[in-house]
Amino acid sequence: MCRLRALRTLVPTCLLLVACQPSQQVSTTDIATRAVSVVATTSIVGDLVARVGGDRVAVQVLMGPGVDPHLYKASEGDITRMASADLLFYSGLHLEGRMTEVFEQMARRGIRAVAVTAGLDRGVLLSPLEYQGNYDPHVWFDVSLWARTVPGVAQALSDLDPTHANDYRSRAAAYAEELNALDGYVRAQAQRVPAAQRVLVTAHDAFNYFGRAYGFEVRGLQGISTATEAGTGDVQRLADFITTRRIPALFIEASVPPRGIEAVQAAVRARGFSVVIGGSLFSDSLGTPGMPEGTYVGTVHHNISTITGGLAGVPSHTATQ
Ligand code: ZN
């Protein structure tokens, strides 16, 4: 698996960089009197920690909008930031496939790295055959599943900063409640697409939890990790599928270059059928900070509105919570 091969070749460089950094770990004795310094890998994880931590945490996110976590490698600056943090949060389940051993190295320096998916019951996770025994890491597409990561974040923050444990617990409870309401909203919106049209074709196989939770058949041009390039055969097979099933729309993803999906659209056109690009979905990163899509809740609204609009011409109301 090229993703894992790449990890093995990259790690020695990262470890060398860590070894060269003077230890900058901040004392935790005064943690109750200052903000907890957190580094999060993806913007999705950063948003989760910020919601639970509130003004008690200062969150730095390593991967900005549109960055692909499957391919992301820690830079020297990232390693400096991680070495200076009180606590690291990452998504886990090999989403950040090229960073895992860096977290382990940080842990050996006394900086805890917490996978927000670590507390999820493995029985609820998808484990597709083609992923060779690993779990599908894209759990945030099932909003009810993502809500289950909230208590673990509160616990990790409380372990470090027990003085404010009640604050973390109460914010976590409120956010989990908001997410469970959002899950109900997405479920209701999905029902607006006629059952026969509930087929979601995207750039990579990120939406299987979405499909399972909200009743969509899901096809991705690339596999679960974007580390495996789609070939001509993949494009042709997907074009055949779309043409045969008369699927009206396919979707690009903000963190994956659009050329693959555009090639599928052209191949469908060559078969005498027309499929539109129904819009761009947020898959593995949030949108621009400060915009509605800069939050997890905002991207969930954007995605379901785009999907229902593309497949059934019934965009949902994004202002509705
Ligand atoms: Zn992905």
Host domain of residue 174: 11-184
Residues 25 and 153 in one domain: yes
Average pLDDT over residues 256-266: 91
Distance (angstroms) between ligand 1 centre and the Cα of 256 equals 9
My answer on whether 109 and 238 are in the same domain is: no
End-of-domain residue from the set 161, 184, 207: 184
Q: How far is the CA of 120 from the centre of ligand 1 (A)?
A: 18
Ligand 1 center–CA 199 separation, angstroms: 18
Residue 1, in any domain of the structure: no
Nearest-angstrom CA–CA distance, 128 and 212: 13
Domain count, the chain: 2
- Interval between CA 32 and ligand 1 midpoint (Å): 36
Give the pLDDT score at 321.
Answer: 35
Ligand 1 geometric centre to CA of 123 (Å):
20
Q: Looking at the structure, do residues 199 and 244 belong to the same domain, yes or no?
A: yes
Same domain, yes or no: 41 and 61: yes
In the reported structure, the alpha carbon of residue 291 is separated from the centroid of ligand 1 by a whole-number distance in angstroms of 22
Is 307 contained in some domain? yes
pLDDT band at 232 (very low <50, low <70, confident <90, very high): confident
pLDDT digits (tens, 9 = 90+) for 43-80: 999 999 999 999 999 999 999 888 889 889 999 999 99
Cα(276) to ligand 1 centroid in Å equals: 23
Higher pLDDT, 101 or 165: 165
Find the length of the chain.
321
Q: Which residues pair with 58 in a beta bridge?
A: 37
pTM of the model: 0.86
Mean pLDDT of 260-264: 93
Contact 186, 214 (CB under 8 A): yes
Query: Residues 284-320: pLDDT tens digits?
Result: 999 999 999 999 999 999 999 999 999 986 554 443 3
Q: How far is the CA of 206 from the centre of ligand 1 (A)?
A: 5
Domain assignment present for 2: no
Residue 17 has pLDDT above 50, yes or no: no
Please indicate, yes or no, if residue 68 is contained in any of the structural domains. yes
d(CA 32, CA 98): 33
Residue 224 has what pLDDT? 60
Q: Please check whether residue 4 lies inside any domain of the structure.
A: no
Rounded to the nearest angstrom, the distance between the alpha carbon of 245 and the centre of ligand 1 is: 25
Tens of pLDDT, residues 84-93: 999 999 999 9
For residues 131 and 200, is the Cβ–Cβ distance under 8 A?
A: no
Same domain assignment for residues 163 and 54: yes
Name residues with Cβ closer than 5 Å to ligand 1, which is an ion.
Answer: 206, 284
Q: Are residues 302 and 228 in the same domain?
A: yes
56 backbone φψ class: left, alpha, beta (φ>0; ψ -120 to 50):
alpha
CA of 273 to the centre of ligand 1 (A): 29
Phi, psi of 294 (to 5 degrees): -80, 0
Ligand 1 geometric centre to CA of 55 (Å): 30
User: Closest Cα partner for 222 from 258, 246, 197, 270?
Assistant: 258
Averaged over 195-219, what is the pLDDT?
93
Q: Which two tokens stand for residue 273?
A: 């059928």
23 C-alpha to ligand 1 centroid (Å): 33
Ligand 1 centre distance from Cα of residue 122 (Å): 19
- pLDDT tens-place string over residues 166-190: 999 999 999 999 999 999 999 999 9
Please report whether residue 57 resides in a domain.
Answer: yes
Band of pLDDT at residue 96, cut at 50, 70 and 90 = very high
Q: How far apart are CA 184 and CA 24, in angstroms?
A: 44
pLDDT of residue 2: 33
How many angstroms does the Cα of residue 82 sit away from the middle of ligand 1? 23
CA nearest neighbour of 49 among 125, 126, 160:
160
Residue 321 lies in a domain: no
Residue at a domain's end among 167, 184, 201: 184
Q: Are residues 264 and 299 in the same domain?
A: yes
Cα 43 to its chain centre, rounded Å, is 8
Going from the Cα of 222 to the center of ligand 1, the distance in angstroms, rounded, reads 10
Distance 127 CA to ligand 1 centre (A): 14
Pairwise CA distance, residues 151 & 200, whole Å: 31
Q: How far is the CA of 255 from the centre of ligand 1 (A)?
A: 9
Q: For residues 149 and 202, state if they share a domain.
A: no
Do residues 167 and 91 both lie within one domain? yes
- Angle between helices 296-312 and 165-190 in degrees, nearest 10: 0
Same domain, 178 and 264: no
**24-33, 117-126, 171-180: range with lowest mean pLDDT:** 24-33
Domain boundary among 184, 207, 233: 184
Ligand 1 centroid, distance to 187 Cα (angstroms): 22
55 and 144 together in one domain: yes
Residue at 5 is within a domain: no
Between the CA of 263 and the centroid of ligand 1 the distance, in Å, is: 20
Give 138 Cα–ligand 1 centroid separation in angstroms. Answer: 6
The CATH code of the domain that includes 94 is 3.40.50.1980
Q: For 6-27, what is the mean pLDDT?
A: 39
Instruction: Measure 88 CA to ligand 1 centroid, in angstroms.
Output: 20
The C-alpha atoms of residue 263 and residue 270 are separated, in whole angstroms, by 11
* 237 CA to centre of ligand 1 in angstroms: 21
**Are residues 197 and 168 part of one domain?**
no
Residue written as token pair 């020695």: 12
